[in-house]
Copies of this chain bind each other. A is one copy, B any other.
Amino acid sequence: MTGSIAYLGPPGTYTESAALAYAQTVQGGSEAVACLCPYPTIAQTLQAVAAEQVNVGVVPVENSIQGSVTMTLDTLWGLEHLRIQQALVLPIHHVLISQATELVAVETVYSHPQALAQCQRWLAQHLPQVQQVASNSTTEALEHLPQDPTAAAIASERAAGLHQLPILARGINDYPGNCTRFWVMGWATPQPELKPSSHVSLAFSAPANVPGALVKPLQVFAQRGINLSRIESRPTKRSLGEYLFFIDLEANLAEAQVQEAIAELRPYTEVLKIFGGYEVIAVARSQVNH
């Protein structure tokens, strides 16, 4: 049994779709999840896992268009004892939801800033005059629709169904390959059994203002032929110019040479956090709950 799964809610968000896909994969669909618990923010979702209020938490990490979800990286850096159990890559298909029966009747489009940004070209072409208004989530944007037939929202097909609202347009993404990567975070067992993994994620702070401070850490992996699939810098929030680095490796954490590389990396860092080794599941469009 999976037990309880926290996720960035409310129901109808893309993160809920990822949480549902995760529940299906771990259970083979045979057993009900005890609880799928929506949390209002990424920080609260991850804190619920850290406080052992839930078994795992699902949070977005990176979108193929918008890049990293910085709130997830910043929150993870500040928490202890969390491990990545699984990554999921979910295709993102936005739809335009409205009670309006034709596009010319739409005056305002509500959505999360990332979703609005991902549909800018479509909006410029089909709704050049509308006012675009930011909301806290794609689902929250739907709250404006029942009382206002000139309002529209960009959200998922599932969200439209949950709120029993009509879809006015489909295929409104500017980039058809739009997808988002999610991490399923769980509690780190004191002696984690190292299962084979396809990816390893870690983060570190490096001494500031040292030429080549980042070259040495990267060389540790390059000289072993270990590919970096992502590098992201985040401010330490102490002063402009001081950074943390988040790195994803295509590597098996259970392999000796990967463990060696991490041991060799440690002296080049101030603080080093290993978020774990994990496999990546690509969720097919047909598997996404509608």
Describe A's contact surface by its main secondary structure.
mixed
Residues of chain B within 8 A (CB-CB) of A35 are: none
With contacts A211-B226, A215-B215 taken as known, whether A240 is within 8 angstroms of B67 at the C-beta atoms is: no
Does A229 belong to the interface (CB within 8 Å)?
Answer: yes
A237–B134 contact, CB under 8 A? Answer: no
Could you tell me if B70 and A67 are in contact, using CB atoms closer than 8 angstroms? yes
Tell which of B65, B177, B235 touches A67, judged by Cβ atoms closer than 8 Å. Answer: B235
**Chain B residues within an 8 Å CB radius of A219:** 212, 215, 219
- The interface size of chain A toward B, counting residues with CB under 8 Å, comes to 49
A218-B227 contact in complex given A64-B235, A134-B113, A239-B177, C-beta closer than 8 Å: no
A70 to B225, CA, bound (A): 30
| Nearest CB in chain B to that of A68: its residue | B233
A58-70 near B? 1/0 per residue, CB < 8 Å = 0000111111001
> Is the CB–CB distance between A240 and B64 below 8 Å?
yes
**Bound-state Cα–Cα, A135 to B67, Å:** 21
Closest to A236 in B: B64
Do A241 and B230 touch (CB < 8 A)? yes
* Nearest-Cβ distance from residue A221 to partner chain B, whole angstroms: 7
User: Is A243 part of the contact surface with B, judged by Cβ < 8 Å?
Assistant: yes
